Every structure is written in C-alpha cells, then in structure tokens.
C-alpha cells in the first residue's frame, strides 16, 4: 500500500499536534507541515509573560519541556515530519487534491499533492476601524514579532505611557506585563466590564485589584481615533471626547477565524464565521480536516456553535484531526465549555461553563450561589477566593462556575470543569470526595462549600441576596435593616458604611430587642464572608422574623466602595 501524504497548513498549536499525531499513528505517512511564520510551535499564551520579564530567554517560547527548540531540524529528526517555514499556502485545488505554495523568502511558487489536508490557519487579530492605525507605536500581541517588539520596548525603557485597548484575557495580561515594565498603563474597554467571561460583580473585584496595582481602567468607552505626530503615536481619543497621552497602544479586542483559504476553496463556513467541521474535525470536503482557532465547535451546554480560540483546545482538536486523517478511527472532539484562567497581578480569574447572564440567555431556570472563603486554613497561609456557582434549579445540574482571588483558583476551576463535563448535580457535589490536607485545602473544599450554599438555597434553608441587588435597593431609595454580625475590632478595621447595625453573632440572641420590632421588616445579614450572616439568618427566623436575607460573599465579595 502506498504511503499517505498528509499536508498540514499552520505550525502554531493545532498544526504541530495534528502532524505529530498523524505521524505517530502511521509511521509510513509522509507528513508535511507548512508554516507562514519563521517560527514553529510557539507558546503564544506565554507572550505576555516574556514581555513582562517573567523569563528572559526568547527560545523558551519555542522549546519542548526538555529545552529543545522546535524548529525544522527538530521536527525532521524527532518527529519524522517535514516542516517548511516562511511558506504560505495560497490556494487549494480540491478536485486535484493539490495546494499552491509560495516561498516567502525567494518568491518561488510550487504545488504539493495531498491525500489528506489539515487546515490549522489560526485566527487574525481584530483592529478597530478608526483613523491612525498605521502609526508607529500601535501593535497587537498575537505573533512572535509582536512579543519581540514589546519586549524590546521593555528592555529599552523609553515608553512612559501605554494604553491597552480591550479588557479581555490578552488585554489584562498585557496590562500587567507593561506595568511590570515600568509603564503607566490605562486599559480601555468598550463594554461595562473587563473579562466578559465573568459576571459583573466578580469582574469588578478584578478591576478594583488592577486599579490598586496602579493601572487605570476605563469601561463603557471606546477608542475613536489614534493621535500622532511625525508618523508616531502620541495619544488616543475616546468616544467620550477624552484624549489620553501615550507612546504605545496594544490592541487586544479579540480575534477572528482566518478562513480566507478555506472560503476560497469552497469549504463550508459556519454561522460564527469559523470553518464548519463535524466532531471528527472533518470539513465539508471528506479529504480536508480543520482544527484550532479557525474553526467553530459546539458549546457543550447549549449545543450552539461557538468560537473557542484557546491554545489547549487547539491541541486537542489537532490531535483528533491528525488521527482521523491517517486512520479514520472515528476519534471525536465533543466541543467546549469555555474553561479558562488568567493571571491578574496578584489575583487569578477563572471560569468554566455558563455565566449567570449566558445561562439566562440560554433559557435555563437559574439559581446562583456566591462563596467567599480561604483556599486553605489560615495557619497554612490561606488566601481568599470568591466564587459564583451557576445551577439549573430544575435539574440541579451545575452549569457554570467562576472564581477570582489571590488563592488557588486553578484547583477550583479544574474541579468545576470536570464536574460540569460529568453533568454533576448539587446532590453529587455536596459530598464530593476530593483530596484534603491543610497545606492544600480546607476540610470542606471551597467548591463543596459553594455547593452547600446552593443546596441550602434550593431547599429553602437559606435566602440569599446578591451584592448587586443590595446596591440596587440603596440606589432606588429602599432602606433595609443592615445587620453586621462581626466583632467590634473587625468593624473598626473595615466596614461598608451602609448605616448598618453591629451586633456580634455571639451576642445576637441577647440583643434581639435592638432589631426592628416589625417582624416583616427586611433585614440583610452579613459578616466578612457571610458564614456568620447565615447563622444570624437561622437565629432570626427561629425568633419570628420573616424577611431575612444573607448578603452572599459578605464584605469580601462587595465590589463597591467601603467607608473604611
């Protein structure tokens, strides 16, 4: 039997994984990987950390875990794959099963035949359609050349003020990198919040933390134009009319699938703008597969098509595409639940599944629970976590989970991601058997505690109120009775200033006369994390008060200003 020729277009994440998988499973296959850029298998998610100075050797972005640079020689020797860099595939002839290639160094064009073709053409960064985008000093952070440019500015130290346009994952990571480089940074976001994968109240906690780190954040605004002098960027103009002085602007407003090659070849393009593929990564042409940022995939919770430009998913998709290209084994990729995490200075922010907003848009009967607690005991250096669990109240299945804070967010998001993938319900989660020892977690893990909160709400044993609802009441002129059940020292050190009454939990049963004697008066209880607030609710219910609510997450989850 003649050996197969497998062509892979793209050499970043999905492409190398597809090529390697195909060659491993069919050692006789002739696998050729074609890459437009000079580099191969770049760790693009590491670009902000290279720019920020977390490491200094550029080659580490291109290395295997053992430190070998993944270049043409590496792929030829270790993988048995022919890699051609600085080469662009400019056309696909599906009938002839042939692609047209252009050597970008020599300008030479030539054709290559294929038995199976895998497209891993990635995505292209979006640029705002406004004047001045050609000025020197405007860049994205998408390619190695962008990382090289920003790192050179860091090393030279000549930039005083920078603006990051876009408050998503890349924008916030870039903000930190530039701030660590000594620049005065402003983040400008069109939407009402940064990090749209979070619900507003958790995103606001992150925004507050970014501001504490001396970076400015402007939301609900957009850049309307770039200002320049002598061809160089000197500032930006916002839609509000404000002008911000800067010598550097990094555009991070998202990416769009790079589908031009596929579209010109007549392949089906999906409703989201990504290449349409089935669960085996096969396109509308049985001989052509696609993987990575250029494709659309199903959302595992809603079933709708979505774009998911994540490096880990690109690798998983590439693995499936490479296997099916050589074996047609039926390997599948089931879709995404949009699990992600990012570093935000001293905090982390992660999510998996649906946010409350997206779950409601999808038509679920949503119930949420907010938990604030340490990630491990205080005597082991525990750090704060604030999380939000999103549940379908009808099936009690967990739909989504978000977590932010300086604690171990990664553990919580990993646990939740597997629980969502396994269609776990609240009755499953309240007794989850997770590893425990004081150096690693609390005896009741943070995720399990969040499930306990939701279970109490589902069974009517707790009535919670979100801090956003509390703020809305205050803004509308309502005056609930606010009961702070912390100790006096805690109250003096930090308090909200809502006109609250302080009665320590241990004194509450003896001081019930200080509460409203109208037993139907709305009382909102809280403490630092609202564990004691829940205890207070149970006590007051037992003594006849009817409208008692616990402000979920307590003071530590409060995203607004405090009195002190």
The mean pLDDT value for 408-425 works out to 98
Q: Examine domains 5-123+256-327 and 138-253 and report if their fold is the same.
A: yes
Residue 1 pLDDT exceeds 70? no
Can you identify the CATH homologous superfamily of domain 5-123+256-327? FAD/NAD(P)-binding domain (3.50.50.60)
Report the Cα 452 to chain-centroid distance in Å. 26
CATH architecture of the domain with range 349-458: 2-Layer Sandwich (3.30)
Residue 2 pLDDT exceeds 90? no
Q: How confident is the model at residue 510 (pLDDT cuts 50, 70, 90)?
A: very high
- Evaluate whether 497 touches 564 at the Cβ level (below 8 Å): yes
Residue 544 pLDDT exceeds 90? yes
- 542: CB partners within 8 A, 6+ apart: none
> What would the CATH number be for the domain defined by 138-253?
3.50.50.60
Q: How far apart are CA 109 and CA 103, in angstroms?
A: 6
Which CATH class, in words, describes the domain spanning 464-557?
alpha beta
pLDDT the model gives residue 269: 98
- Mean pLDDT computed over every residue of the chain: 97
Question: What's the full length of the chain, in residues?
Answer: 564
Domain edges within the chain: 5-123+256-327, 138-253, 349-458, 464-557
Could you read off the pLDDT of 200-258 as tens digits, one per residue?
A: 999 999 999 999 998 899 999 999 999 999 999 999 999 999 999 999 999 999 999 99
State the DSSP code for 143.
S
The mean pLDDT value for 262-290 works out to 98
Q: How far apart are CA 275 and CA 293, in angstroms?
A: 9
The mean pLDDT value for 153-173 works out to 96
Output the CA angle 337-339-342, nearest 5 degrees.
160
Which pTM does this prediction carry? Answer: 0.95
The mean pLDDT value for 98-114 works out to 97
The mean pLDDT value for 411-428 works out to 98
| Spatial CA neighbour of 374 closest among 422, 438, 315 | 438
Could you read off the pLDDT of 15-27 as tens digits, one per residue?
A: 999 999 999 999 9
């Amino acid at each position: 039997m003649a050996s197969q020729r497998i062509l892979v277009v793209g050499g970043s994440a999905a492409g190398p994984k597809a090529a390697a998988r195909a060659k491993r499973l069919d050692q006789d296959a002739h696998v050729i990987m074609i890459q437009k850029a000079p580099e191969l298998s770049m760790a693009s998610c590491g670009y902000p950390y290279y720019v920020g100075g977390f490491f200094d050797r550029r080659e580490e972005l291109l290395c295997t875990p053992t430190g070998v640079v993944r270049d043409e020689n590496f792929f030829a020797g270790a993988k048995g794959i022919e890699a051609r860099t600085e080469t662009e595939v400019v056309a696909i002839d599906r009938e002839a099963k042939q692609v047209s290639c252009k050597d970008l160094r020599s300008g030479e064009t030539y054709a290559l035949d294929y038995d199976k073709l895998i497209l891993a053409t990635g995505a292209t960064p979006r640029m705002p359609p406004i004047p001045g985008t050609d000025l020197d000093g405007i860049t994205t952070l998408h390619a190695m050349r962008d990382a090289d440019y920003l790192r050179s500015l860091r090393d030279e130290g000549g930039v005083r003020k920078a603006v990051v346009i876009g408050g998503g994952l890349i924008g916030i990571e870039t903000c930190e990198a530039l701030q660590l480089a000594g620049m005065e940074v402003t983040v400008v976001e069109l939407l009402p919040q940064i990090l749209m994968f979070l619900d507003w109240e958790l995103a606001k906690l992150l925004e507050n933390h970014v501001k504490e780190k001396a970076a400015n954040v402007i939301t609900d605004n957009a850049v309307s134009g770039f200002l320049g002098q002598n061809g160089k960027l000197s500032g930006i103009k916002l839609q509000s009319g404000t002008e911000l002085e800067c010598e550097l602007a990094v555009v991070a407003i998202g990416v769009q699938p790079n589908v031009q090659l596929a579209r010109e070849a007549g392949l089906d393009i999906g409703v989201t703008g990504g290449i349409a593929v089935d669960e085996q990564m096969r396109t509308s042409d049985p001989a052509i597969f696609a993987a990575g940022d250029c494709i659309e995939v199903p959302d595992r919770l809603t079933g709708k098509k979505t774009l998911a430009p994540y490096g880990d998913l690109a690798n998983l998709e590439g693995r499936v595409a490479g296997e099916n290209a050589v074996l047609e084994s039926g390997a599948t990729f089931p879709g995404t639940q949009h699990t992600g995490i990012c570093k935000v200075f001293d905090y982390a922010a992660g999510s998996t599944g649906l946010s409350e907003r997206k779950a409601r848009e999808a038509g679920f009967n949503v119930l949420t629970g907010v938990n604030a607690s340490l990630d491990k005991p205080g005597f082991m250096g525990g750090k704060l976590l604030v999380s939000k669990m999103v549940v379908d109240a009808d099936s009690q299945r967990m739909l989504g989970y978000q977590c932010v804070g300086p604690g171990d967010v990664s553990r919580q998001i990993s646990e939740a991601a597997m629980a969502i993938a396994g269609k776990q319900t609240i009755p499953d989660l309240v007794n989850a058997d997770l590893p425990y020892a004081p150096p690693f977690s609390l005896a009741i893990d943070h995720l399990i505690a969040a499930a306990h909160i939701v279970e109490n709400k589902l069974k009517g044993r707790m009535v919670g109120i979100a801090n956003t609802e509390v703020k809305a009441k205050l803004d509308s002129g309502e005056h609930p009775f606010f009961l702070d059940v912390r100790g006096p020292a805690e109250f003096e050190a930090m308090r909200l200033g809502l006109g609250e009454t302080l009665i320590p939990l241990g004194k509450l049963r003896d001081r019930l006369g200080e509460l409203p004697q109208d037993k139907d008066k709305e009382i909102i209880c809280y403490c630092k994390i609202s564990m004691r607030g829940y205890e207070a609710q149970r006590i007051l219910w037992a003594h006849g008060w009817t409208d008692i609510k616990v402000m979920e997450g307590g003071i530590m989850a409060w995203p607004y200003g405090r009195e002190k």
